[in-house]
Amino acid sequence: MLSRTMNEIFKLLADFDFPEEPSFEQPYSQVIYDKDTKTWTVEVELPGMDKNDVEIKVVDSNLVINAKNDDREFSARYYLGKDIDQDSIEASMENGLLIIKAKLQMPEEKSITIN
C-alpha cells in the first residue's frame, strides 16, 4: 500500500522534470486460509519470472521465498504456524503467478474399545 502511494506521489512530481522516477513497487502477495479444507494458500505475483528463478524453503514454520532474475529480486517470509504438514506443501507457477499450498496436520484419531 505504501509503495503504491509513493509511486503516485512520484507520478505527480514528474511534471517537475526530475531525471528519473524511482520505483518502490513490490510484488503483490496474499495469504489465504480456507478453514473448510484447513489449507493455507500463498499467492505472489512475480511478473517476468519463471519457476527456475524461484527458490522456496521451509525454515522454522516459515515459508521463505527468494526469487531473482536479471531484472529483479524478491524475498519474503510467511509464518504458517507449527501445525503445517510439511509433506503437503505444493507449489506451482504459471504466467508469473506463484501459488503455494500447505495443509494443516490433522491430529491422529485413536479409537478406544470399551471392555
pTM of this prediction? 0.70
Any domain includes 74: yes
Any domain includes 77: yes
For every one of its 115 residues, what pLDDT tens digit does the chain have, with 9 covering 90 and above?
Answer: 555 666 676 666 656 555 554 444 677 889 999 999 999 999 999 998 999 999 999 988 889 999 999 888 889 999 888 888 889 999 999 999 999 999 988 777 778 888 8
CATH code for position 80? 2.60.40.790
CA-to-CA separations, 74 to 44, 70, 78, in angstroms, rounded? 10, 12, 13
CA-to-CA separations, 55 to 33, 37, 74, 102, in angstroms, rounded? 22, 26, 10, 16
Domain tally, the chain: 1
Residue linked to cell 504438514: 85
Q: Which of 105, 101, 100 is nearest to 85 (CA)?
A: 105
Helix ranges, 20-108 (H): none
Domain with 72, as residue range(s), is 27-103
Residue linked to cell 529483479: 72
